[in-house]
Amino acid sequence: MRKSSVFYGGIISLLVAVIVAAWWYKNSTAPESDFKLEDGYSVVITGDSLSFNSFEFDSFEPLAPADYAYKNPYGLASWGHMTRDTLYSSADGFRLGDTLSYEVTKGVTPHRNVNGLYGSPFNGRMRTYLVPNKDSVITIKGVGGDYPGVARLMFFTGASDFTNIAKFDIYSNGVYQRTVSLKGDDNFYRGRYQLNVDGIPVEAGGSVVIKNIVPASNDGSPAAVQIVGVSLTQPSVHMTGHGMWTSQQVLDDFDNMVGQYKPDLVFYQIGANDIGLNIPVATFKANLELFVQKVRALKPSAKIVLITATPSKYHPNRTDAAGYLNAAQQVSQQYDCKLVDLYELLSGLDPAKWRHDDVHASIEGGQLIYDEIRKKAFPGVKLGSGYKPDARYQVDREPR
């Protein structure tokens, strides 16, 4: 009996050791999410036109693919836009505007969102109210989480040619907190973009009250309040790519495109124009290396995701761009960056299934790229409030 007990005890100990080892291996080698959304966490999505890809999108206003990302509509469905909205929607306590509970005074009426296709984030899933006078009140119910804390309120701004832009006061816990104007800066996204109002204290399960709502134009028209959503964590995401630029031009504009935001996480897609202009591979590599060094000089702990160019009509095969791809791989390894190789992802596919023109992705291609970047950079992300990072959903969505 004693020998049998020792034998079975040994077997059990061995099984426990195997299970523990398997658990450790699985968890130590499993994909790791490369960000932790904390208050003040800063993200930059930058590079050339591929990073925001304002092609193949019907828009209520002209697109500017050869300019900055922030000169284009805010709600396009490129991989960059879907990544931005994914990060916002994964924040603690995030809920979209059309899922929140509201209480409004008489005369305040819901209105169809007025920004047009691609004008707003999260596939247009806001709640818009038209407010007739300053005695009207909008209460956003249950903003607070399980414990007292601070909230972010996300609104959508209006361009200066939109006469219904609202100005109002925010109250929480029965106390005045802040006065907010939804008049956007026309230098960014033509005045229409997500305005994050941070640091609003809320009790557990508490509500936020919007009062003294008037049109900023003060012309007597109804004021439009467009509510994108709320969250209890307050990251910031900045899209700063510039069409037609090379790695050198990004370096020349680094402070504007990256430096001012002191990012914790950078997505950098570059190389299409370097390859197209036959910039020497050594120069491209040196520029890429300097970019990474400048980011880490701002914040040594910054995480960087390098994203290659897509296979183009003129350089369709991996061998055509091998020097540039190898340079990106070498820099990523040397500086502990993640690398998303789009030649590896796309070069075996029929261009008709993913490419819009000679180099830029179609809407379907943008979805493929987003899915790959999400898998490589933040595989464990959990989206809140039913947001669907789906370019086709954005394109085909019904008006709300």
* Domains of the chain, residue spans: 42-89+237-396, 95-233
The full DSSP string for 321-335 is GHHHHHHHHHHHHHT
> Considering the entire predicted model, what is its pTM?
0.90
Closest CA to 97 of 231, 214, 189: 231
> How far is residue 262 from each of residues 44, 89, 224, 251, 352, measured CA to CA in Å?
9, 22, 34, 15, 39
> How far is residue 188 from each of residues 130, 192, 270, measured CA to CA in Å?
24, 8, 22
What's the pLDDT at 160?
Answer: 77
303: left (phi over 0), alpha (psi -120 to 50) or beta: beta
Instruction: State whether the Cα torsion 243-246-247-251 is positive or negative.
Output: negative
What's the pLDDT at 115?
Answer: 66
DSSP state of 308: P
Q: Rounded to whole angstroms, how far apart are CA atoms 285 and 293?
A: 12
Domain 42-89+237-396: top CATH class = alpha beta
> How far is residue 54 from each of residues 51, 81, 224, 243, 350, measured CA to CA in Å?
9, 10, 28, 9, 22
What's the pLDDT at 393?
Answer: 67
95-233 is a CATH 2.60.120.260 domain: yes
Amino acid in the structure at residue 24: W
In degrees to the nearest 10, what's the CA dihedral of 281, 287, 291, 292?
50
CB atoms within 10 A of CB 264: 22
The full DSSP string for 256-280 is HHTGGG--SEEEEE--HHHHHTT--
What's the pLDDT at 290?
Answer: 98
CB atoms within 10 A of CB 396: 10
Helix (H, G, I), strand (E, B) or coil at 284: helix
Below-70 pLDDT ranges, the chain? 1-37, 114-116, 393-400
Query: Could you report the per-residue pLDDT of 137-193, keeping only the tens digit for each?
Result: 999 999 999 999 999 999 999 887 777 899 999 999 999 999 999 999 999 998 999
Please, which residues have CB within 8 angstroms of residue 14's CB and are 6 or more apart in sequence?
Answer: none
What's the pLDDT at 35?
Answer: 53
For residue 338, what are the β-bridge partners? Answer: 305
What's the pLDDT at 392?
Answer: 73
Task: Write out the two tokens for 325.
Answer: 């791809």
